[in-house]
């Protein structure tokens, strides 16, 4: 039901979505929009459609220029005094006056209780939604000065529940490059993402069809495919919404290693549930009730004995993970 977790940041998601517009448009003319359609639409789009607007089709990322890529390589990504509520629940403030700077080439970890607004921050940075007040800035330029296609080239998102489309594994990985890459490149990305070994053992290898939304693969396998896709995309900004679902120890380690390769040298926001990720971050930001409660390094925040150390002990974030 949460649109943000379907991470619509790739071409075929958008293609499928524009087919869904027609279906939804005919639906909403006779009845209320069906919330179960969210997954098939770019988040927020149902609202425009429900209100009679023609969905805006901007140039897809494969046709877009590299203005946002250049800006992201040269500057920070920032939420400045951002206020946001979801269109469905316009009366409920989800983010209140959020200021967050992702410094170029560094890792920011975002932590906080369930419902604090972490995935919403990721959705705004990906421009799946726009803030009601405040600004999103990339290298001091307003997000709106870049097309969505340019933006999509600059930012790769690995979502909390990665969604694959029902093609082959090779399709799903090469999607990071709009299908324009060789099998060697696909395989190199899969190797770096610790996915090659399990892919090789599948009956059809890279040609294995993953099933509707990737249901024939385990959560850990889907995540590694999503990481391989992001590696191939090679964008300067990575947003990683770590899965909360428990992975077995082996998958956990494989995913962690893949993440380390993915984030090297990039501007990274990781919504972190694992102590290893949190401790290694250049900056930790704690969210509570849609606001930034605290920020600093692991040591600083532990010493402050504030919301961070409280969160650590109450959520047992240190448990269950070997660091």
Ligand X SMILES: Nc1ncnc2c1ncn2[C@@H]1O[C@H](COP(=O)(O)OP(=O)(O)OP(=O)(O)O)[C@@H](O)[C@H]1O
Partner touching 159 among ligand X, Mg ion, none, CB below 5 to 8 Å by kind? none
Partner touching 198 among Mg ion, ligand X, none, CB below 5 to 8 Å by kind? none
Rounded CA-CA distance 307/310 in Å is 5
Q: What residue is closest to Mg ion based on CB?
A: 119
From residue 107, give the alpha-carbon distance in Å to each of 117, 180, 210.
19, 29, 32
Taking the least distance from each CB to ligand X, the nearer of 3 and 259 is: 3
- Of these, 9, 10, 85, 119, which contacts Mg ion (CB under 5 A)? 119
Counting every residue, how long is the chain?
323
Q: How far is the CB of 2 from ligand X (least distance, A)?
A: 4
Taking the least distance from each CB to Mg ion, the nearer of 119 and 235 is: 119
Partner touching 86 among ligand X, Mg ion, none, CB below 5 to 8 Å by kind? ligand X
By the rule CB under 5 A, 251 interacts with Mg ion? no
Q: How far is the CB of 53 from ligand X (least distance, A)?
A: 18
Q: Which residue's entry shows tokens 């190797």?
A: 191
Taking the least distance from each CB to ligand X, the nearer of 117 and 176 is: 117
Q: How far is the CB of 118 from Mg ion (least distance, A)?
A: 5
Q: Which residues bind ligand X (CB under 6 A)?
A: 2-4, 86, 88-89, 94, 112, 114-120, 160
Partner touching 88 among Mg ion, ligand X, none, CB below 5 to 8 Å by kind? ligand X
Q: How far is the CB of 276 from ligand X (least distance, A)?
A: 18
The structure tokens listed for 4 are 């943000």
Taking the least distance from each CB to ligand X, the nearer of 228 and 271 is: 271
Partner touching 42 among ligand X, Mg ion, none, CB below 5 to 8 Å by kind? none
Q: How far apart are the first and last CA of the chain?
A: 33
Q: How far is the CB of 118 from ligand X (least distance, A)?
A: 3
Partner touching 19 among Mg ion, ligand X, none, CB below 5 to 8 Å by kind? none
Taking the least distance from each CB to Mg ion, the nearer of 10 and 119 is: 119
Taking the least distance from each CB to ligand X, the nearer of 45 and 189 is: 45
Segment contacting Mg ion by CB under 5 A, of 117-125, 139-147, 163-171, 301-309: 117-125
Taking the least distance from each CB to Mg ion, the nearer of 119 and 223 is: 119
Q: Print the SS3 string covering the chain.
A: CCHHHHCCCCHHHHHHHHHHHHHHHHHHHHCCCCHHHHHHCCCCHHHHHHCCCCCCCCCCHHHCCCHHHHHHHHCCEEEEEEEECCHHHCCCCCEEEEEEEECCCCEEEEEECCCCCHHHHHHHHCCCCCCCEEEEEECCEEHHHCCHHHHHHHEEEECCCCCCCCCEHHHHHHHHHCCCCCHHHHHHHHHHCCCHHHHHHCCCHHHCECCHHHCCCCHHHHHHHHHHHHHHHCCCEEEEECCCCCCCHHHHHHHHHHHHHHHCCCEEEEECCCHHHHHHCCEEEEEECCEEEEEECHHHHHHHCCHHHHHHHHHCCCCCCCC
How far is C-alpha 143 from the chain's CA centre?
Answer: 17
Taking the least distance from each CB to ligand X, the nearer of 250 and 319 is: 319
Q: How far is the CB of 192 from ligand X (least distance, A)?
A: 27
Partner touching 70 among Mg ion, ligand X, none, CB below 5 to 8 Å by kind? none
User: What residues make contact with Mg ion under the rule CB under 5 A?
Assistant: 119
């Amino acid at each position: 039901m949460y649109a943000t977790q379907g991470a619509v940041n790739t071409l075929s998601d958008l293609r499928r979505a524009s087919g869904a517009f027609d279906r939804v448009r005919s639906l909403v003319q006779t009845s209320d929009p069906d919330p179960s359609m969210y997954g098939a639409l770019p988040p927020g789009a149902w609202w425009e459609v429900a209100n009679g607007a023609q969905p805006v089709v901007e140039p897809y990322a494969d046709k877009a220029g590299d203005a946002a890529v250049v800006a992201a390589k040269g500057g920070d990504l920032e939420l400045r005094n951002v206020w946001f509520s979801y269109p469905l629940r316009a009366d409920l403030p989800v983010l209140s006056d959020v200021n967050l700077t992702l410094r170029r080439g560094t890792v920011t970890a975002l932590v906080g209780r369930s419902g604090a607004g972490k995935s919403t921050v990721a959705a705004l940075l990906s421009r799946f939604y726009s803030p009601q007040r405040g600004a999103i800035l990339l290298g001091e330029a307003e997000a709106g000065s870049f097309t969505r296609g340019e933006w999509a080239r600059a930012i790769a998102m690995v979502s909390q529940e990665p969604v694959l489309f029902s093609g082959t594994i090779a399709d799903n990985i090469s999607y990071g490059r709009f299908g324009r890459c060789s099998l060697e490149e696909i395989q190199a990305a899969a190797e770096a993402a610790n996915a090659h070994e399990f892919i090789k053992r599948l009956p059809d290898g890279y040609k294995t069809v993953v099933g509707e939304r990737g249901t024939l693969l385990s959560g850990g396998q889907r995540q590694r495919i999503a990481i391989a896709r992001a590696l191939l995309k090679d964008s300067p900004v990575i947003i990683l919404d770590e899965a909360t679902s428990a992975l077995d120890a082996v998958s956990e380690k494989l995913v962690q290693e893949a993440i380390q390769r993915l984030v090297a040298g990039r501007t990274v926001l990781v919504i972190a549930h694992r102590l290893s990720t949190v401790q290694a971050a250049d900056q930790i930001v704690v969210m509570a009730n849609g606001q930034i409660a605290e920020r600093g390094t692991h040591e600083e925040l532990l010493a402050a004995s504030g919301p961070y150390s409280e969160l650590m002990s109450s959520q047992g974030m240190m448990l269950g993970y070997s660091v």
